[in-house]
Structure formats: C-alpha cells, structure tokens
Amino acid sequence: MNDNFGYIDIILLAIVAGIIILRLRNVLGKGAEDSVSRVKKSTIVDAKFEEAPLSRVNENENSREFKEEVFLKGAQAAYEMIINAFASADKKTLKDLTSPEIYKSFIAVLDERKNKKYINQFTFIGIKKAKIENVDKKNSFYTVKTRFVSEIISCI
C-alpha cells in the first residue's frame, strides 16, 4: 500500500510543477513582447519652441510666489548635507552651503578637533520637525529663518 502513495505524491508534485511553469510562462513570456511593441508604437516628436516677449518673461519672474513646502524640502536636504559635511570634516561642502560667517565657525571647531586629535563618530537619524519661523522679503529676495529639530547620534 505504501508503494501506491509514492506514485500519487509524484503525480501531485508533477501537476503542481506544471501549473507553476504555465503561470511563469504566461507572465514572463508576455512581458518582453509587450514592451517591444510599446517602444515601436511610440513616436518621437520634435519640440517646437517659440520666443516669448520680454514683458511676458518679466511678468513670470515677478509673479513667483514663496512656497513654504517646497522651500522646507530643499532646506531639509541642505541641513542634512551641512550636518553630514560637518561630521565628516568636508570643508568644501561646508563652504558651498554656508555663509562666510557660519563657515568660519565650522572651520574653527573642525580645526580645534584636529588639533586635539579628536575622532568623531556620527550618525544622522533624521529630521523630526522643520518649521519656518520668519520670512522677510526685500525686492525679489527672501530671508527665511527656519528651525530644525533632528535626531543625531554623535560621539567624540
């Protein structure tokens, strides 16, 4: 009797394997052909440009509004880059992303660490909160005061 169960197991496994192979063939076989036909159907169209009158260009520049959410996303990215550059003593990035006064402060601390031969272990976990506290507009320039609350693990 045990011999009959062995044959039934093999037959069931063969049926399951056949079903799996058919499913994979359907999924894998159609994907490549569809993508090739999609590429053939698409057409390339030359872009047509027209010159805008100078007055219309100036109107667009003056009508730009300050969008807080867009600014905050960029500010968060810059903040993270500055903090990581400070932790890794990347003076070039700090110089590119900060004002001269702030850059001097960062360099003073980095030089002090180097003179005392401190090694910094640093992990930036993330920004918990970013908030715009004040926005001043002078002509077409904005000065934005932003407060960040972030999670950082630092060991010197």
What is the domain partition of the chain in residue ranges? 54-155
Please list the ranges in the chain whose pLDDT falls under 70. Answer: 1-5, 29-64
Question: Residue 32's pLDDT is what?
Answer: 53
pLDDT at 59: 46
In this prediction the pTM is 0.55
Q: Dump pLDDT digits (tens) for 27-46.
A: 776 655 555 555 455 445 55
Residue 58 is predicted with a pLDDT of: 46
Query: At CB < 8 A and 24+ separation, what contacts does 143-151 make?
Result: 144/71, 144/75, 146/72, 146/75, 148/75, 148/76, 148/79, 150/79, 150/83, 150/124, 150/125, 150/126, 151/124, 151/125, 151/126, 151/127
What pLDDT score was predicted for residue 56? 46
Q: What residues have CB less than 8 Å from 23, skipping those under 6 apart?
A: none
pLDDT score of 50: 56
